[in-house]
Amino acid sequence: TKFGRGSDVFPNHYSEKALRTSVDESTRRLGVNTLDVLQLHCIPTDVLRKGEVFNWLRKLKEDGMIKEFGASVETVEEGLLCLEQEGLLSLQVIFNLYRQKLLDVLLPAAKRLGVGIIVRLPLASGLLTGKFSKKTRFPENDHRNYNQNGEAFNVGETFAGLPFEKGIELTETIKNDFLPANMTMTQLALRWILDHDAVSCIIPGASSPQQVKLNADVSNMDPLPIELHKKLRAFYTREVHDSIRGAY
């Protein structure tokens, strides 16, 4: 369950009362007495830095309203701020072949502290499936249409912050130069993430039961060769990093 982006609190109306009300409403909807995990959902950096919201979370845990708490963040800075907080169970982050900056500091720090990493947008809004072309168009109500350049929210949440056509070009390079013969692009992208032992789980999207099964089956695949990891890291540094837009 998440808290923090509702119009009643975002971006500057956070309070302990609002948090407790949100938890009460969630438990009622779910028909439970306590929430297993409550995640802060991409709340402003300044609110994280002040830290008061974490005191409220710890109080909720003491009162038995939640069992654990974590945070979903948009930047390395925000992740590191959260890691300073006692009792943090997990961080939800954007981490994929086009967002490798987290490997430098954030993931090692989380691993050292025993904080779980939940990976969202592992396929960069579908870019890393390899199914799109420069001619692909998306419905008006799809963020891949209305937020391609950050018109509605952080551009980093759409296509990993890459301009769409640039993302298509990069994906074609991966497909042509780095994709093992026995793998799909989706399998490569998910297996690459799972090979990092700081990662606890991935939450990829799926549009059918078959896709859910295929995604889950990647957990049973062998790790990628170390040499391939090195090549993909060099590719990111050389070709991708400077094209990323938005908070990161």
State the average pLDDT over residues 58-77: 98
Q: What is the mean pLDDT of the chain?
A: 97
Dihedral, 86, 104, 143, 91 alpha carbons, nearest 10: -20
At 16-51, the pLDDT tens digits run 999 999 999 999 999 999 999 999 999 999 999 999
Q: Which of 65, 106, 117, 95 is CA-nearest to residue 189?
A: 95
pLDDT surpasses 90 at 240: yes
State the average pLDDT over residues 56-62: 98
Residues in a beta bridge with 38: 69
State the average pLDDT over residues 228-238: 99
pLDDT surpasses 90 at 78: yes
pLDDT at 207: 87
pLDDT surpasses 90 at 206: no
pLDDT surpasses 90 at 110: yes
pLDDT at 21: 97
Residue 236, amino acid: Y
Q: How far apart are CA 90 and CA 117, in angstroms?
A: 6
pLDDT at 212: 94
At 119-150, the pLDDT tens digits run 999 999 999 999 999 999 999 999 999 999 99
